[in-house]
Amino acid sequence: MKKIYFDNVSTTSLHEEVLKTYKDLLDKYYCNSDALYDDGVVIYDMQEKSRALIAELLKVDKDEVIFTSGASEANSLAIKGLCLNQSERKHLITTIYEHSSAYNAFKQLEEHFGFEVTYLMPEDKSGQISADQLKKAIRKDTLLVSVMAVNNEIGIINDIKEIKELIKHYPGLYFHCDLTQAVGKIPFDLQDIDLASFSAHKIHGLKGSGVLVKKRHVGLLPLINGGQQESGIRGGTSNALCNIVLAKTLRLALEEEDKYHAYMLELGAYFKERIKEVEGIKINSPEGAIYNLINIETPLTSEVMLNALNLKNIMVSSKSTCGSRKNESNRTLKSMGIDDDHAIRVSFDHHNTKEEIDYFIDSIKEIIKKYA
């Protein structure tokens, strides 16, 4: 029986064009991109061309694009790299519901490096962090504000434009934005954002590949020491072939965002409409949340529901996959007053169909009838 993949926020399938290009490259190239003979130079040139194309797509300068192993590394590097590179300012602001890679970087800075962190809590049902709220939290010694564009567990979309406008007025205050769940889903603009991260595998690219955009005026302390790679900010032999195909990955994701936008909206609306039929289900995602992610509450505990759907060949998550093996309560859901023992996260991409949603609805009805 065909498997149904409703976990596209966790990771996505590989785009066939990306796969093809990557395979071709793997067959041909193995040299170090920093080697000075012809074969090395060829790879280096392709990587730099990719960097330039990515910069063009993001409307930033080429030397502002840093290749990383993914968004977790990009977040860690942005947050810790910035904070540890200076000693004057010791106050940081973020949200309670950032991805664990950002959240735990802040925790570390708090616990081991003497920083003070304000974790903003959502103040209304939208879950958004407001500029007002942020303004009240900013102090003279605030160094960094980090707010994610789109939350990965219930799909809150923050008003990044409003936040940028506010931060602009504070000299010496930096803004980092985790764009991981936004790229390929909603438009974004990197003007007035000092640091931004995203990952390739969330947009049908390769795992182990991502970008940190670091504006020219931002100084970072390298976390991985090495040679001259990535302007000395991120050492280690370049994962050149991954970096090369990231340009194509991003270009296709942005093209397909437009191409499938209407379809994705329709799919999300269809799911919400049909799930109403199922007794005992509540939608946890707020109004105005990102269209490809719907967090629901079911009468069964998350683990049992996940197992039952798994037996029906349906793949969903109970919480952020990065914390799936830990028995911790969920920060995002808790902060929104949502019962995190019964939450299931369903997330789509354009490969999903209404038929799959129909099958999901039938299955979940059956499961609830039998086990609730």
- Which of these ranges, 82-90, 171-179, 266-274, 298-306, lies near another protein under the rule CB under 8 A? 298-306
Catalytic machinery residues: 322
For residue 372, state whether it binds another protein (rule: CB under 8 A).
no
Candidates 163, 246, 281, 308; binder of another protein (CB under 8 A) is: 308
- In sequence order, the β-bridge partners of residue 118 are 93
Closest CA to 6 of 291, 268, 308, 347: 347
Quick one: 163 or 343, whose CB is closer to another protein? 343
Spatial separation of the C-alpha atoms in residues 213 and 170, rounded to whole Å: 21
For residue 304, state whether it binds another protein (rule: CB under 8 A).
yes
- Which of these ranges, 2-10, 37-45, 59-67, 307-315, lies near another protein under the rule CB under 8 A? 307-315
Closest CA to 122 of 96, 149, 104, 94: 96
- How far apart are CB 304 and another protein at their closest, in Å? 5
Q: How many residues bind another protein (CB under 8 A)?
A: 11
- How far apart are CB 13 and another protein at their closest, in Å? 20
Spatial separation of the C-alpha atoms in residues 71 and 74, rounded to whole Å: 5
- How far apart are CB 306 and another protein at their closest, in Å? 8
Spatial separation of the C-alpha atoms in residues 108 and 116, rounded to whole Å: 11
For residue 338, state whether it binds another protein (rule: CB under 8 A).
no
Quick one: 80 or 345, whose CB is closer to another protein? 345
Residues 101-130 that bind another protein (CB under 8 A): none
Three-state SS sequence of the chain: CCCEECECCCCCCCCHHHHHHHHHHHHHCCCCCCCCCHHHHHHHHHHHHHHHHHHHHHCCCHHHEEEECCHHHHHHHHHHHHHCCCCCCCEEEEECCCCHHHHHHHHHHHHHHCCEEEEECCCCCCCCCCHHHHHHHCCCCEEEEECCCECCCCCCECCHHHHHHHHCCCCCCEEEEECCCCCCCCCCCCCCCCEEEEECHHHCCCCCCEEEEECCCCCCCCCCCCCCHHHHCCCCCCCHHHHHHHHHHHHHHHHHHHHHHHHHHHHHHHHHHHHCCCCCCEECCCCCCCCCEEEEECCCCHHHHHHHHHHCCEECECCCHHHCCCCCCCHHHHHCCCCCCCEEEEECCCCCCHHHHHHHHHHHHHHHHHHC
Candidates 327, 328, 337, 355; binder of another protein (CB under 8 A) is: 327
For residue 305, state whether it binds another protein (rule: CB under 8 A).
yes
- How far apart are CB 350 and another protein at their closest, in Å? 29
Candidates 11, 104, 133, 307; binder of another protein (CB under 8 A) is: 307
For residue 228, state whether it binds another protein (rule: CB under 8 A).
no
| Token pair belonging to 25 | 């490259």
Quick one: 40 or 323, whose CB is closer to another protein? 323
Quick one: 10 or 197, whose CB is closer to another protein? 10
Candidates 86, 225, 310, 324; binder of another protein (CB under 8 A) is: 310
Residues 5-24 that bind another protein (CB under 8 A): none
- Which of these ranges, 68-76, 237-245, 264-272, 305-313, lies near another protein under the rule CB under 8 A? 305-313
Quick one: 233 or 306, whose CB is closer to another protein? 306
- How far apart are CB 311 and another protein at their closest, in Å? 6
Quick one: 108 or 301, whose CB is closer to another protein? 301
Candidates 236, 311, 358, 362; binder of another protein (CB under 8 A) is: 311
Quick one: 255 or 303, whose CB is closer to another protein? 303
| Token pair belonging to 247 | 């340009």
For residue 363, state whether it binds another protein (rule: CB under 8 A).
no
210-214/293-297 β-pairing? unpaired
Quick one: 109 or 306, whose CB is closer to another protein? 306
For residue 367, state whether it binds another protein (rule: CB under 8 A).
yes
Question: Binding residues for another protein, per CB under 8 A?
Answer: 303-308, 310-311, 327, 367, 371
